């Protein structure tokens, strides 16, 4: 199964969370390795969409809001560096739409 390319990726998730430095669970330094910054958040969104259209989604649990899926693969950076990532999505019960939850570095098993 693949997450549709029209899945919802809230801009705030990129510009107020993933691309902003945090003392705990910071993802901005990781994403900066591939050239992603607040100045090119749209490029990160495009790279995430490119990732989900090329990789299968795996069911990864559920809660009262929906069913979670994960998509693992290489995120193509704007500077030519690719990052191994895990993206998390929810298929919302309320409207049957997929929404981006988060992205994190993929740890080798």
| pLDDT per residue as tens digits for the range 13-70 | 999 999 999 999 899 999 999 999 999 999 999 999 999 999 999 999 999 999 999 9
The whole domain housing 53 covers 11-105
pTM of the full structure: 0.94
Q: Total structural domains in the chain?
A: 1
Which run of H or of E encompasses 103?
strand 98-105
Q: Average pLDDT, stretch 76-87?
A: 98
Is residue 60 assigned to a domain?
yes
Is residue 96 assigned to a domain?
yes
Rounded Cα–Cα distance for residues 1 and 78 (Å): 27
Q: Average pLDDT, stretch 75-104?
A: 98
Rounded Cα–Cα distance for residues 18 and 16 (Å): 7
């Amino acid at each position: 199964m693949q997450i549709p390319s029209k899945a919802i990726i809230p801009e705030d998730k990129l510009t107020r969370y993933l691309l902003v430095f945090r003392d705990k669970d910071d993802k901005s330094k990781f994403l900066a390795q591939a050239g992603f910054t607040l100045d090119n958040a749209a490029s990160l969104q495009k790279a995430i969409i490119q990732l989900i259209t090329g990789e299968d989604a795996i069911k990864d649990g559920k809660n009262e809001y929906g069913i979670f899926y994960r998509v693992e693969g290489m995120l193509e950076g704007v500077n030519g560096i690719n990052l191994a990532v895990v993206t998390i999505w929810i298929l919302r019960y309320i409207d049957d739409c997929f929404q981006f939850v988060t992205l994190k570095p993929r740890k080798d098993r």
